[in-house]
Chains A and B, each alone.
Chain A
Amino acid sequence: MTRIAKAFEKTRAEGRPALIPFLTGGFPTLESTVPLILAAEAAGADLLEIGLPFSDPLADGPAIQLSSQRAIENGATLKWILEQVREVRKTSQLPLILMGYLNPMLRYGLDRFVHDAVQAGVDGMIVPDMLPEESADVVAASREHGLSNVFLMAPTTSEERIRKIDALSTEITYAVALTGVTGARGDLPADIEDYLARVRKNTEKPFVVGFGISAPEHVARLKGKTDGCVIGSAIVKQLDGTSGDEATRRLTEFLTSLRSS
């Protein structure tokens, strides 16, 4: 059984959505990335998303845009991030999912990147600017090397298309909570329950929800309606301007508050 499958088996048995923090690789500092991932695991993360920085992150709001820009300035590259994953894997079996835009992967070489990611210990990959229609090369490389593809759905996605995305995804799918970019918001969309019910009805695999989930009450509201909650911008905001122990302490406190929801 894969690390991802095991994680969802556990959270489903416990009757709660998986807690999935997002960290931009190389943010707030290069040195903080490995300690932050391990701190997230210690604070109860069930899976973790690692953002691959890109200069033009179309699906991201200001917080993740800024973290991405900082990470690039810090010198974070795809190769460097895979080295951090290798380091984490020495002591941790936390499922790790990369979230990154297509162009840096193309530049690295798609097949080589997927191969190297799996070798480093990456479990899955989300590419927010890659639709199923343009995914043949990534899917082929992933099937060959054993990487889990996670495709995204949105509130505007038709039921027929949700079924197609569920079929193409390897183990799990990702429901974008709202029409918009990533970023913390005061409230979840009013009609999110209807949307998630539509996703549930048309998917066989577990699905997680992300975009705009930023507070314990959001996680509480989604309980029973999804298999996992991804929290990104709210964490990135907590970490902005921090480093070292201060960064890990902030992350631990924030994740603890989400877990108690």
Chain B
Amino acid sequence: MTEITRDRPDAGGHFGAYGGRYVPETLVPALEELEAAFEAARQDPTFQHELAEIERDFAGRPTPVYHAERLSSELGGAQIWLKREDLLHTGAHKINNTLGQILLARRMGKQRIIAETGAGQHGVATATVCARYGLPCVVYMGEEDMRRQALNVFRMKLLGAEVVSVTSGSRTLKDATSEAIRDWVTNVRDTFYIIGSVVGPHPYPWMVREFQSVIGQEAREQMQGRLGKLPNLLVACVGGGSNAIGLFHAFLEDEGVVIHGVEGGGHGIDSGAHSATLGQGEPGVLHGAMSYLLQDAEGQVQIAHSVSAGLDYPGVGPEHAWLQDTGRVHYASVTDEEALTALQRTCLTEGILPALESAHAIAHVIRVAPEMRPDQSILVCLSGRGDKDVHTVAEHVKLDG
């Protein structure tokens, strides 16, 4: 047994009591093959070079950190900095991961790509890299999410992907993920499953974190360059938790840096309609890993709710479960309404339309920034842009004139 460190899980893929592999036996050789291929790729300078080059030329890395001066001054507290993942190609941090995984799929000689998607951002990012590398792509998406995110469904189809409507269960990300896993069990020999977050069986939570941790590595260097010091607080939204772990990971050893993850509080925690898995869930097994889980007294998985399709998931990455238990990261939640308000405020003060997911992080900042001093700083992961959410926002927000 290898030791669990903040660098990597143990040999079985555990972060403390969480993670591991809880899958049908059929997938064991595929997961072992994937783990070995990733292990080799991450130590291969050619692979790393190829990934860095495509991230730069195709995705638009590095992304800037931006000082949100007007928002900071309105709130009258800490200086707010945004890590602009919203500026990436396809509009969110998801592309960091899909580029890494598609290069791995090519290296492994896989001929077919599948993915699940909630908000559609991961689906678009997967369809995009499949088009770029000429591989067929099937995306599983809940029927309810297809309705909420019709624009992204069309984008995926434009990119040549087949979008399969999932009508089982809650018809959202949870069920789309189950269906993608069933496809993989069936077509495991030639198919590569590009999971979109730090969830699923080992090695996915670790591998996806490694592909996303470029966010924090860049930001850490950029903040030191701009301020000559590290930020006092990091904030990111948490659905499955990939943008959050991507930002947090490079700072975990920096003990002076306080870290907050923000979950979807939906209609409010007391309403029961939320997606605050870490705050309100109990440990359990879903989609191949042990982690916190929204579940009822019988161990049936509960339906999550969030106005943001990307946060609407009853599970969460196992590393976040571990970071919560060890106390390194504090997880809070904000309601749908607070997120919608934060989205509008970011538009008005900064001229930036954040994704509803990212607006949850900003809503939390609106709460905590006034309690901090102006010489302190908060670094927020602006994980995606809100173009995809305009329709949803219009359903909730009345504008004058």
Contact = CB atoms under 8 A, between A and B. Distances in A.
Interface of A: 54-56, 58-59, 61-62, 65, 69, 72, 77-78, 101-108, 128-131, 133-134, 151-158, 161, 165, 176, 179-181
Would you call the interface of chain B mostly helix, strand, loop, or mixed? mixed
Contact of A181 (B185, B286, B297): B185
Contacts of A128: 24
B7 interface: no
Given A133-B21, A156-B30, A157-B29, 5 more contacts: A56-B175, A103-B293, A106-B299, A131-B25, A153-B25
Q: How many B residues touch the partner, as a band?
A: 35 or more
A153 B287 CA distance: 19
Given A152-B25, A157-B29, A61 B182 contact: yes
B25 A157 contact: yes
Contact of A176 (B26, B189, B282, B287): B26
Interface in B23-44: 23-30
Contacts of A181: 182, 185-186
Given A107-B295, A128-B24, A129-B22, A179 B285 contact: no
Contact of B301 (A56, A106, A157, A176): A56
Contacts of B109: none
Contacts of A165: 25
A179 B23 CA distance: 13
Contacts of B27: 156
A55 B170 CA distance: 10
Contact of A154 (B26, B288, B298): B26
Contacts of A55: 169, 300-301
B174 interface: yes
Contact of A104 (B12, B20, B29, B299): B299
B231 to A, nearest CB: 38
Contacts of A106: 283-285, 299
Given A102-B22, A103-B285, A104-B300, A69 B169 contact: yes
Query: Which among B24, B27, B28 has the greatest number of chain A C-beta atoms within 10 A?
Result: B24
Contacts of A154: 24-26, 28
B341 interface: no
